[in-house]
Structure 1
Amino acid sequence: MEIIDDAYCVQGLKLVDVAERFGTPVYVYDADKITEQVEKLKQAFGGLKLKLKYATKALSNISILKLIKKNGCGLDVVSIQEAHLGIKAGFKPNEILFTPNSVSYQEIKQAVDLGLVINIDNISILEQFGHDYGSKVPCCIRLNPHIMAGGNTKISTGHIDSKFGISVYQERHIQRVVDTYGINVTGIHVHTGSDILDAEVFLRGAEIIFKVAKGFKNLKFLDFGSGFKVAYKEGDVTTDLTDVGKKLGDAFLSFCKEYGRELEIWFEPGKFIVSESGYFLVKANVIKTTPATVFVGVDSGMNHLLRPMMYDAYHDIVNLSNPNGVKRVYTVVGYICETDTFGWDRKLDEVKEGDILAIKNAGAYGFSMASNYNSRLRPAEVLIYKGEAHLIRKRETMEDLVRNQVEISLD
């Protein structure tokens, strides 16, 4: 987002005009920013056999997935439904990594039937998989490296209490199952969490994955997950991609030399690719002054953007309608019948009822976590592509809300 002629703009379009055209609340995504983030990763890991598998759960709109494909990425999916969305968007099944957890074995079999790359994260499923497929269907194994990493315990996935992955302490058990059934293991995977700042966490994970990988002779790739941190506010420290790319790249090439051939290196960025592309536009319904606080109550809530209430996530907020106003302190809240806050004690350009606010970093885990709580309708989504605003999801209606409900007679 940039300021042009005292207006906040994306690709030259005024966001207030986008809000007026499509109504609020509305999610708006900048296609150029998505492309820019993909290119940053490609440059950081240049010289390696790199494959990026976009984490679909971050933002799964089909038009976004098509843009991701256009930029040369594959997909990482965590449900069979996400896989079908990816295929509908044009991805080939072998471009999609299926990384579920706690799903039934039947869903694993559906993924095999679709032709996805299978990533297995528990011994029970590995045994059933081996019994049914032996060496006929290759798979990847997800390890839990027991590394505490990431900016929030709710998004740390590689520690000892995590439900994700097979413990590295079960390496011998994994090997027994693989040998017993002749399972063709072609990939090893670790993911420690999100908002990782430095190369050391990736290198610690690499040491573990390299050690385990030596026991599997048919590997084609090693998958290091993701966790690259983006900026949420001015002055935020972000992941030094150049440093990570150099240190992890050197370690990876050294391992490949020891292993006997060059493997592919995979990452599964989600938030890193789409977070900064997204703006959630809302309208100020009321300005409410209390003895302690001045509230801006907007026409949305945690039903549309859950991250601040679920993760205590910080999202910068700006007043699009009054970009040069006198600064005042507000708490921006939603219309849900709960404590429902987007931002506490924020210094904003003076807000009046009817003003349009933009909540930044709304591209990842915004719409994808939205709900109909309080029987509210989910918002529209808009993609700004080549300087034009395109509606990519219609705003819900009451018909959408009751479509699958079945009324019964209570006579």
Structure 2
Amino acid sequence: MKITVEKVQLLELANKYGSPLYVYDTDKIESQYNRLTDAFSSVKSLKLNYAVKALSNINILKFFKNLGAGLDTVSIQEVQLSLTTGIDPKKIIYTPNGVSLTEIEEVAKLGVQINIDNLSILELFGQKHPEIPVCVRINPHIMAGGNSKISVGHIDSKFGISIHQVPHIKRVVENTGMNINGIHMHTGSDILDIDTFLRATEILFDVAKQFKNIDFIDFGSGFKVPYKEGDISTDIEQLGLQLSERFNEFCIEYGKEITLMFEPGKFLVSQAGSFLAKVNVVKQTTSTVFAHVDSGFNHLVRPMMYDSYHHITNISNPTGRDRYYSVVGYICETDTFASNRRIAEISEEDVLCFHNAGAYCFSMASNYNSRYLPAEVMFHDGKDYLIRKRQTLTDILNNQEIIDFSARKNQQKK
């Protein structure tokens, strides 16, 4: 029986490790992984590549490796980080955007699967390295995702090669003799309408038919998870039924079994993460009650960057009378996590929990205002493990070269 982290334990962890603090529950990660694999169990060859950018702590990557997942990377640094887990390089796919040919060549030397998203680099790489199999990222011209900032498959997107440029891809292949072994797309995050997603998959099937030696089709991800009670989310089970049937039909049409791939990030880790912050000040103004916490958009930028919703609970007073608060941070600019939010009565020193904080939260954190990055804790099989120490001033100063201005001044005096 799996043991999940509860509110009382979260409060204990905040007291033990201090705040602000990120906590990740591996039981929730594993249950989401199993849910996705179960939904596509009728597909003979399924491969899930966890999107490293969502949450890149090395212990999270090692956990996915142990589950049998591959890793989806977008930079040479993510590739190098992934390799430190001991994972087989062939289980890593590298899907950059707008990087140099030099970086792609350096990654290719590491033995990972290359995925190229523009004609210029595709041609250059094919001319120099026709022996290295390459996947191509297609832009299906489908608007999907929760908002424009996380929709990446529409006609004006910077990502992928337009479906109208497929003849150009074929011409590059013909001229260079390179091998296209995979077709890829990613339409965006927070997908609600599986019919829209399925329309995009049909476009990808049509493209795949035009290449005779592919080993896989990567449909990206972007599946939405609920952010609050009653929230709508991607119906993974229904998508699994419909897409699995269609994919199996395609394999028969294509003449061989190929691999169905996804690159989930948020779907796997979002709900597993909790962000804990302590209330510094409760401030009453003429119209608003502010709860100022010991954090800001330096630690959790999604509400400010994407207008994303994170459910907030007062784990120090979970049964208290509900009141309305605007939860804000300590940064020198507006960093509002929630406006006029109904939360159990808050007092100074209470600990608030921000839910769905596993994906694109710590990974997008910064040292703005010279604040330290939070610590990270993994809750696994009923035990808590510190997986990242809280930063110190030494960490911030690391790699900064200090100029001795007094030496120059003394030299001028001479």
TM-score (norm 2): 0.96
1:202 Cα offset (Å): 2.3
In 2, are the aligned partners of 1:299 and 1:334 still within 8 Å (CA)? yes
Partner of 1:96: 92
Partner of 1:250: 245
Is 2:265 the partner of 1:270? Answer: yes
1:70 Cα offset (Å): 1.2
Partner of 2:412: none
Letter in 2 for 1:407: I
**Secondary structure class of the residue paired with 2:174:** helix
Q: 1:330 to 1:95 in 2, by over 3 A?
A: same
Whole-angstrom CA distance in 2 between matches of 1:215 and 1:393? 47
Whole-angstrom CA distance in 2 between matches of 1:281 and 1:367? 12
Is 2:140 the partner of 1:145? Answer: yes
Partner of 2:109: 113
For residue 159 of structure 2, the aligned residue among 144, 160, 164 is: 164
Whole-angstrom CA distance in 2 between matches of 1:13 and 1:293? 29
Letter in 1 for 2:81: L
Is 2:76 the partner of 1:80? Answer: yes
Is 2:126 the partner of 1:130? Answer: yes
**Secondary structure class of the residue paired with 2:60:** helix
- Could you give the per-residue CA deviations for residues 209-246 of structure 1, whole angstroms, max 9, x where no partner exists? 11111111111000000011100011101111111011
Partner of 2:24: 29
Partner of 2:220: 225
In 2, are the aligned partners of 1:301 and 1:336 still within 8 Å (CA)? yes
Whole-angstrom CA distance in 1 between matches of 2:180 and 2:206? 15
**Secondary structure class of the residue paired with 2:341:** strand
Partner of 1:384: 379
Is 2:43 the partner of 1:45? Answer: no
For residue 357 of structure 1, the aligned residue among 328, 352, 361 is: 352
Whole-angstrom CA distance in 2 between matches of 1:74 and 1:297? 40
In 2, are the aligned partners of 1:198 and 1:244 still within 8 Å (CA)? no
Letter in 1 for 2:115: N
In 2, are the aligned partners of 1:320 and 1:357 still within 8 Å (CA)? yes
Long gaps (5+) in structure 1:
none
Is 2:41 the partner of 1:63? Answer: no
Whole-angstrom CA distance in 1 between matches of 2:288 and 2:88? 53
1:13 Cα offset (Å): 6.0
In 2, are the aligned partners of 1:12 and 1:387 still within 8 Å (CA)? no
**Secondary structure class of the residue paired with 2:164:** helix
Whole-angstrom CA distance in 2 between matches of 1:310 and 1:337? 16
Report 1:5-20 matches (<5 A): 10=5, 14-20=9-15
1:12 Cα offset (Å): 8.5
Between the two proteins, the alignment pairs up a number of residues equal to: 403
- Could you give the per-residue CA deviations for residues 229-281 of structure 1, whole angstroms, max 9, x where no partner exists? 10001110111111101111111111111111121000000000000000000
- Could you give the per-residue CA deviations for residues 161-218 of structure 1, whole angstroms, max 9, x where no partner exists? 1110000010111110011101111100011001112321221111111111111111
Whole-angstrom CA distance in 2 between matches of 1:369 and 1:389? 23
Partner of 1:186: 181
Greater mean deviation of Cα atoms: 283-292 or 247-256: 247-256
For residue 333 of structure 1, the aligned residue among 322, 328, 351 is: 328
Whole-angstrom CA distance in 1 between matches of 2:7 and 2:295? 26
For residue 308 of structure 2, the aligned residue among 306, 313, 332 is: 313
Partner of 1:401: 396
Partner of 1:207: 202
Whole-angstrom CA distance in 2 between matches of 1:208 and 1:64? 33
1:11 Cα offset (Å): 5.8
Partner of 1:176: 171
- Could you give the per-residue CA deviations for residues 81-124 of structure 1, whole angstroms, max 9, x where no partner exists? 11111111121110000000011111100111000100000001
In 2, are the aligned partners of 1:11 and 1:387 still within 8 Å (CA)? no
Whole-angstrom CA distance in 2 between matches of 1:13 and 1:77? 36
Alpha carbon RMSD of aligned pairs, Å? 1.2
Whole-angstrom CA distance in 2 between matches of 1:217 and 1:233? 45
Letter in 2 for 1:58: A
Whole-angstrom CA distance in 2 between matches of 1:208 and 1:75? 25
- Could you give the per-residue CA deviations for residues 10-39 of structure 1, whole angstroms, max 9, x where no partner exists? 168611100000000000000100000000
In 2, are the aligned partners of 1:13 and 1:387 still within 8 Å (CA)? no
Q: 1:111 to 1:250 in 2, by over 3 A?
A: same
Percent of pairs with identical residues: 58
1:141 Cα offset (Å): 0.3
- Could you give the per-residue CA deviations for residues 124-183 of structure 1, whole angstroms, max 9, x where no partner exists? 11011111111x110100000000001111000000111100000101111100111011
In 2, are the aligned partners of 1:297 and 1:335 still within 8 Å (CA)? yes
Whole-angstrom CA distance in 1 between matches of 2:181 and 2:38? 26
- Could you give the per-residue CA deviations for residues 371-403 of structure 1, whole angstroms, max 9, x where no partner exists? 000010000000000101100000000000111
Partner of 1:237: 232
Whole-angstrom CA distance in 1 between matches of 2:367 and 2:7? 33
Long gaps (5+) in structure 2:
410-414
Whole-angstrom CA distance in 2 between matches of 1:168 and 1:242? 28
TM-score (norm 1): 0.97
- Could you give the per-residue CA deviations for residues 324-351 of structure 1, whole angstroms, max 9, x where no partner exists? 0011000000000000011111111110
